[in-house]
Amino acid sequence: MSFIINFAKFWYDFIIGDDWMIAAAVVAALILIGLLAHAQIIAAWWLLPLVVFLFLGLSLWRAIRASQSH
């Protein structure tokens, strides 16, 4: 059991790392872009760079706040 937990933890740290919020934002953005494209509403290619810009900034802000509170 501990092997499975350690294995899962390794891959979580490897891919997602310090801030899960970035991964969640990327997944949510891809779902939204996919839905918009599927419904033929808009080809929202610009949405992903925008999400990267916003959530990278938010993640950096969270990191600084965490470092200041220590």
Partner 1 sequence: MNTESWVFLLLASFLASTVEMVEALTIVLAAGVTRGWRSSLIGVGVAVVVLAAITAILGPTLTLIPINALRLFVGGLLLVFGLQWLRKAILRASGYKATRNEAALYEKELAAARAQGTTVRAGLDWYAFTLCFKGVLLEGLEVVFIVITFGATANQVPLAALGAAIALVLVLSIGFIVHRPLSRVPENALKYGVGILLTSFGTFWAVEGLGINWPGSDVAILALIGVYLVVSFAYVGALRRLRAAAAARQAVAA
User: Residue numbers of the site for partner 1 (CB under 8 A)?
Assistant: 14-19, 22-23, 26-27, 30, 33-34, 37, 43-45, 48-49, 52-53, 56-57, 59-60, 63-64, 67-68
For the bound state, the minimum distance from the C-beta of residue 6 to partner 1, rounded and expressed in Å, comes to 13
Give 1 or 22: the residue with its C-beta nearer to partner 1: 22
Check: CB of residue 23 under 8 Å from CB of residue 11. Answer: no
CA distances from 20 to 27, 37, 43 (A): 11, 26, 27
CA distances from 29 to 18, 20, 21, 24, 26 (A): 20, 14, 12, 9, 5
For the bound state, the minimum distance from the C-beta of residue 40 to partner 1, rounded and expressed in Å, comes to 11
For the bound state, the minimum distance from the C-beta of residue 1 to partner 1, rounded and expressed in Å, comes to 22
